[in-house]
Structure 1
Amino acid sequence: MEIKYIVIDDEPPAHHVITTYAQRFPAMQLLQTFDDGIAAADWLRHSQPDVIFLDINMPDISGLELAHAIGKGPMIIFTTAYKQYAFEGFELNAVDYLLKPVSQERFERAMEKVFSLMQQQPAEKETDHIVVHSSYQVLKINTHRIKYIESLKDYLRIHLHDAPPVMTLMTMKKMMTCLPADKFSRIHRSFIVAVREIRSISNRRVKMNCGMILPVGDSYIQFMKEWKQP
């Protein structure tokens, strides 16, 4: 999975900063850089990136005016040296607002928002895979590889058959919307299991084929009854 982006800024050094930071994310693919908003607007009539890093204070057309013209579609991250534009930037539903000079840490926080928003897009109900953001990457994981999923505060740990666990920033509720409902069940506030991986259920304990024993929460007792039905 690739996240295609462009940079629009009349200062060439700003292009270098953004593209250098973006190289740490294997999923990020640079399509184009522009040093004037008019040329960028012409290009955007025929192409649509996933993300636009957009300077606000440009000589030909301001980034705010360009964002108005672009409308809905690409996610916009404003980059500027002027704090006074922040409110109007967020009024345009920008994903983030980066003040120059942009630090690596601040850039990464903006990208976390991008990946989170992409994960919130409606999931395909009959999919055989999930897409998650982990360690600067966007990973596609086949659901047949998943044994169970564990909640750790704001993160999920996805336990796999053929690889080390994958950590991702996502809620259990969101994860359940991404998984096939007939193949995965939530058995506890902290656990989702692949139904095919269950060996047995006894005394509100689920024994997995891998040997793990997981608890069944009070709110999920019905799952035990349904699983035991022929």
Structure 2
Amino acid sequence: MINCIIIDDEPLAVRLLENHVSKIAELNLVATAKNALEAYRILQTQKIDLLFLDIQMPDLNGIEFLRSLNKRPSVIFTTAYREFAIDGFELEAVDYLLKPVTFERFFKSLDRILRRAENENDEDFVIFKSEGFSRKLLLKDILYFESIGNDIKAVLQDEAVTVTKMSVSEMAARLQNKGF
């Protein structure tokens, strides 16, 4: 089950998204929020896996809101403004949907989320960000990790090596309960 919230100040857009969400058994709509501050309060008290996030909202727009979060759930932007798409993808959004959001387009986005969740459940992995790219490393392929100053080096079974900027404590937290 994927816990989600809808963050949008337009009641018609919220109703449309609520209708779309209700058709997907794997989605659990935890709440809706009219602005970023309401959404922040929800995120503090609930486990949320996915945000349906509008961009143009009062006080704090969706891009600013997402940037402010230390721990970011997956996000699908839902907006009437094309010009923010690059910002959205730089923030690693799953998708960027233009309003009015059709169910067909909504379902395509959700399919990405469901496939990602399925893949994550299949095998344990860690994401290494290096030189502007993200690389998914399966834990079963990693021989060992090595600390190099402020970096972590992963040595793989195929003798490949990859390095990321991360502390040992950050890596330990990511690998907690994963056999390392």
- State whether TM-score is above 0.5: yes
Using the aligned pairs only, state the percent identity: 38
Q: Structure 2 counterpart of 1:77, which letter?
A: I
- 1:12-38 CA-to-partner distances (Å, cap 9, x unmatched) read 111111110111111211100011111
Higher-Rg member (1/2): 1
Q: Secondary structure at the match of 1:30?
A: strand
Matches within 5 A, 1:194-205: none
- Quote how far apart the aligned CAs of 1:43 are: 2.1
Partner of 2:7: 8
Matches within 5 A, 1:47-66: 47-66=46-65
Q: Which has a greater percent of helix?
A: 2
Query: Could you tell me the TM-score, scaled by structure 2's length?
Result: 0.65
Partner of 1:93: 92
* Whole-angstrom distance in 1 between the partners of 2:122 and 2:58: 41
* Whole-angstrom distance in 1 between the partners of 2:42 and 2:55: 18
- 1:37-84 CA-to-partner distances (Å, cap 9, x unmatched) read 111112212323111100000011100011112244411000100000
Q: Structure 1 counterpart of 2:40, which letter?
A: A
Q: Structure 2 counterpart of 1:20, which letter?
A: N
Contact 2:5 2:51 in 1 (8 A): yes
Partner of 2:114: 115
Query: Could you tell me the TM-score, scaled by structure 1's length?
Result: 0.52
Aligned length: 126
* Whole-angstrom distance in 2 between the partners of 1:47 and 1:109: 26
* Whole-angstrom distance in 2 between the partners of 1:77 and 1:124: 24
RMSD: 1.9
* Whole-angstrom distance in 2 between the partners of 1:73 and 1:36: 17
Segments of 5+ residues of structure 2 without an aligned counterpart are 125-139, 141-180
* Whole-angstrom distance in 2 between the partners of 1:70 and 1:21: 26
- Quote how far apart the aligned CAs of 1:124 are: 6.0
Answer with 41-50 or 78-87: which moved more. 41-50
Segments of 5+ residues of structure 1 without an aligned counterpart are 126-176, 178-230
Closer/same/farther in 2, CA of residues 48 and 69 from structure 1, 3 Å limit? farther
- Quote how far apart the aligned CAs of 1:85 are: 0.1
Contact 1:48 1:74 in 2 (8 A): no
* Whole-angstrom distance in 1 between the partners of 2:81 and 2:123: 41
Q: Structure 2 counterpart of 1:29, which letter?
A: N
